[in-house]
Amino acid sequence: MKTILVTGATGQIGVELTQALLERYGGDKVIATDYNNQPHNGWPQTSHFFRLDVRDATTLNEIVENYQCDTIFHLASLLSAVAETKPLEAWDININGLLNVLEVARTHRCSVFFPSSVGAFGPEAPSFDTPQDSLQRPKTLYGITKVSGELLCDYYYHRFGVDTRGLRYPGLISNKALPGGGTTDYAVDIFYAAVKNRHYDCFLRADTQLDMMYMPDAIAAAIKLMAADRASLRHRNAFNVTAMSITPEQLADEIQNHLPDFTMTYTVDPLRQAIADSWPRHMNDSAARNEWGWLPQYDLAAMVKDMLIQIATRENGLNRGCYAAG
Ligand code: VAH
């Protein structure tokens, strides 16, 4: 691997993926870019961070050419809830940004990682045990850009030989980066509220079952997929992956195992509830397990424990053994 370009590097996935790539390959091998113009303060010393709007094909091409990038982790995207508030801008960023990346990858022979989502499915797909190859008729603009992105990535592979690979991520939970306008953001917000206030008012119904994954597993999956032997891949764009299928009520119960005085109330946001209700409850990820050895390391209990320790330690300067209300 010569040099890696990350777009959306200060986003929820980007912060931890960039950190993992910097630690694995070193600052000279990772070019971090984002629409925001500040590198994340938690990264090890990195020598390359650039402000990049992925709709700017000229600058994107210059960076790839100047640094001889051969792998692009293309994370820049508007997420589901925010995309519904500005659908045309979301289409512009999510699709034209991806097309710029695919064209640069075609020109410079780069491999491309594309994060799709469970949101690429709609209510017509089987809700439980959603097969890898299921009908995809998403009802959100975000989902339409994700299934379109999957098709574009497959087209560039079959038509131009670009090595495109992707994952249909579930809701992702990170202790390092806040989410940015998604439907599953509650699963991150709840931890900060629990540590600081011992209470959270959830914007989804208590019984809203969705696939989730701890970010360390999401990062490991992206790196493992991109390193997989191409001969083993029967699918490419994009693999179902999940680690747990949980409800807000179940997440609150697990938090209460650590913080008995934590309480949860519910004020449902109709927009995000409608989005969540259009998604499957649990994806079948056997294709990823069989074709490139996907295997999550964190279940609900392990994720909750680590999230609380990491956030309490950072927010309250606590030792790792206890939590204190703010
Ligand atoms: C969102 N976090 O909520 C993203 C993700 C499955 C959810 O795609 O939009």
Q: Is 266 a catalytic residue?
A: no
Quote the pLDDT of residue 325. Answer: 47
Q: Is residue 143 part of a domain?
A: yes
- The percent of residues in the chain predicted with pLDDT above 70, rounded, is 96
Q: Is residue 32 part of a domain?
A: yes
- CATH classification of the domain holding 118: 3.40.50.720
Domain that holds residue 314: 173-212+243-282+299-323
CA–CA dist 159, 96 (Å, integer): 18
Any ligand 1 atom below 6 A from CB of 119: yes
Quote the pLDDT of residue 1. Answer: 61
Quote the pLDDT of residue 326. Answer: 37
Same domain, 30 and 46: yes
**pLDDT tens digits for 214-265?**
999 999 999 999 999 999 999 999 999 999 999 999 999 999 999 999 999 9
Same domain, 128 and 275: no
**33, amino acid identity:** T
Any ligand 1 atom below 6 A from CB of 116: no
- Stretches where the chain sits below pLDDT 70 are 1, 45-46, 317-326
Quote the pLDDT of residue 78. Answer: 96
H or E stretch covering 202: strand 199-202
Cβ-contact 208, 277 below 8 angstroms: yes
How many CA atoms lie within 13 Å of 321's alpha carbon, on the beta-carbon side? Answer: 0
Q: Is residue 289 part of a domain?
A: no
Which of 162, 78, 64 minimizes the C-alpha distance to 112? 162
CA–CA dist 270, 175 (Å, integer): 27
Any ligand 1 atom below 6 A from CB of 171: yes
Same domain, 146 and 165: yes
**pLDDT tens digits for 287-313?**
999 999 999 999 999 999 999 999 999
**216, amino acid identity:** P
- The percent of residues in the chain predicted with pLDDT above 90, rounded, is 90
Give the closest residue (by CA) to ligand 1 atom 8. 117
Please report the DSSP string for 26-84 in residue order.
-GGGEEEEESSS---TTSPP-S-EEE--TT-HHHHHHHHHHTT--EEEE-----HHHHH
Same domain, 26 and 44: yes
Q: What is the CA radius of gyration of the chain?
A: 19
Same domain, 133 and 207: no
- CATH classification of the domain holding 311: 3.90.25
Same domain, 181 and 313: yes
Same domain, 25 and 78: yes
pTM: 0.95
Q: Is residue 251 part of a domain?
A: yes
Same domain, 123 and 137: yes
Same domain, 98 and 208: no
Q: Is residue 291 part of a domain?
A: no
Same domain, 234 and 278: no
Give the closest residue (by CA) to ligand 1 atom 3. 182
- Active-site entry in 25, 35, 67, 142: 142
